[in-house]
Chains A and B, each alone.
Chain A
Amino acid sequence: MSLNTESKLEKILKAGHLAVTSECGPPRGTSLDKIEEKANLIKDCVDAINVTDNQTSVTRMCSLAACIKIKLMGLEPVLQMVTRDRNRIAMQSDILGAAAFGVNNMLCLSGDHQSFGDCATGQNVHDLDSMQLVQTVRHMRDEGKFLGGGDIAGPPKIFVGAAANPFADPFEVRVPRLAKKIAAGAEFIQTQCIYNVEKFEKWLEIARDRGLTEKVFILAGVTPMKSAGMARYMKNRVPGMDVPDEIVKRLSDTPKEKQADEGIKICIETMQRLKEVKGVAGFHVMAIEWEEKVPELVEGAGLYPRPEVD
């Protein structure tokens, strides 16, 4: 087994285990306590913790600072970096800073449009796109060079991930786009939340037929629904999200006080089904502001305890 980095996530995936990651959203303030609290809720049932980067374009504590906090707790952070807010100088600089503190993983994203957030009139950057960011990290790591060609003293040893949304249209471009991200250097993929399991399986089948699942580790993204209202919101209001009518109906038919439990149940069923699907290398559990439920989900899916690696 040849490892490219010190990443625990890389070790677990390359050892053939189903990996489990989850995420923490940094606070809208300066207190690290919130990060510590969230990380402590999930630390025993995940291999790595993604830290979101000003998600939905709402200004928060920077992902890098929160990642460092998680690292100092002895845990394994995944630095999410969006191309919306920084140019190529700032991104390369932050990559060095992350690696300097032993942040071994990155997820490269373009990021939600700023119009969704609290600075809707701000300028987005997108000097690089997510695909170019993937290539940049790999170039810095593997060639030991900056984009400008200069040598890096101590290249950043970072395990590089990207996102994929099998549900956005046109469907036909979604596997080729995955292939392009892999060619750019993506080593792991975390997908959009999966509710339409058939469609995800169809996407994965095409990827598998093209040999892509041999080249990249695909972590299936799941998010438990808290209520029928949330399901309807995700279905109707969140672009690129595919929530089948059966899911909405199943939650609506459940008494209000039982809907959260039902949402957890659906999520566990999804993971149990996908665990058996060839090409699924693990799960990315996004329990949005519901981190305390992650252990129950991971255990319910039969993914606890987590494997030990050196």
Chain B
Amino acid sequence: MIRSITRRKPDEELDRLLEHQNRVFIFGCGTCTTLTNTGGAEQVQAMQEYLASKGKLVTGSTVLPVACDNLTHEGLRAFSGQINQASALVIMSCAFGVQNIASQLQKMVIPALDTLFIGKETGVGQFNEVCTQCGTCVLGETGGICPVTACHKGLINGPCGGTNNGKCEIDKNKDCAWTLIYNRLAEIGQLDLMKRFQPPRNHQGEPSPGKILLEG
């Protein structure tokens, strides 16, 4: 299953965002940020202690089941008393959840996390970005491995000159996308696909911000 992958903001940034907010309510999320240990019950508890240590009054907290879901309004209603006492909401969900909550409450929202990417859990505690939702899929010619996402330069006509023993020149913990693609295409007998010149990409497959209205 794909997940929204997040990382806690540095304390300094959080402190700055909360500088003039003395009463806060904290939201966690029971889905993605629980899985990534960035906004589950434990992290909400830790945030409560951290903010108390900074002299903030925490009026309450809850872990919403799915912060980005439409049903979130029920969770918000259940805590309306404590939420109303707060001047700001510290939200430990991804930015989808932050925006969902912000749209329903007339309150200042403070995201406690940065949303990094939509990723897939590929091992215990390991998440990888495999698709950037670019709108013009090339997987049919790259053996099902996405160079737009997996190559740091997003190159679609083959590797740059910096491949380093199968790893990317800028991060030895990341595989060179084009080495993976080459190996995969070799395995399935489709190396000729690498010879095809890929013309300049259409970066406006769906102009951002994307919006789709299903017809009929």
List residues of chain A with CB under 8 Å of any chain B CB: 84, 88, 110, 112-113, 115-116, 124, 126-132, 135-136, 147, 163-165, 168-170, 172-173, 176-177, 179-180, 183-184, 192, 239-240
What's the least CB distance linking B85 to chain A, in Å? 38
**B153 contacts A126, C-beta separation under 8 Å:** yes
B residues touching A (Cβ–Cβ < 8 Å)?
A: 152-166, 169-170, 178-179, 182-183, 194-195, 197-201, 203
By the criterion CB–CB under 8 Å, are B162 and A180 in contact?
A: no
Residue of B nearest to A166 (CB): B161
* Contact status of A173 and B158, CB under 8 A, knowing A113-B153, A180-B195, A240-B164: yes
**Which residue in A132, A168, A184, A192 is a CB contact (below 8 Å) of B159?**
A168
Q: Hey, which chain B residues are within 8 Å of A172, CB to CB?
A: 182
> Are A113 and B163 in touch, CB under 8 angstroms?
no
- For the residues of A in contact with B, the DSSP-based class is mixed
Decide yes or no: A180 and B170 within 8 Å by CB, A129-B153, A170-B179 being known contacts. Answer: no
Total cross-chain contacts (CB, 8 A): 85
Does A88 lie within 8 Å of B200, measured CB to CB? yes
Instruction: List the A side residues contacting B197 at CB < 8 Å.
Output: 131, 135, 180, 183-184
A221 CB to nearest B CB, Å:
11
Residue of B nearest to A87 (CB): B203
A169 B179 Cβ-Cβ under 8 A: yes
- In contact, B162 and A177 (Cβ under 8 angstroms): no
Residue of A132, A169, A180 touching B200 (CB-CB under 8 A):
A132
Chain A residues contacting B166 (CB-CB under 8 Å) are 169-170
**In the docked arrangement, what's the CA distance between A136 and B197, Å?**
13
What's the least CB distance linking B193 to chain A, in Å? Answer: 11
Q: Contacts A113-B153, A127-B203, A176-B194; is A170 near B170 (CB within 8 Å)? A: no
Show 28 A/B contacts (Cβ-Cβ < 8 Å), sorted by A. Answer: A115-B170, A116-B170, A124-B153, A126-B153, A126-B154, A127-B203, A128-B200, A130-B157, A131-B157, A131-B158, A132-B157, A132-B199, A147-B200, A168-B160, A169-B163, A169-B164, A169-B165, A169-B179, A170-B182, A173-B159, A173-B182, A176-B195, A177-B159, A179-B195, A180-B157, A180-B194, A239-B162, A239-B164
Chain B residues, CB < 8 A from A165:
161-162
Contacts of B159 in A (CB 8 A): 168, 173, 177
Closest B residue to A183 using CB positions: B197
Chain B residues near A113 (CB, 8 Å)?
A: 152-153, 162, 169-170
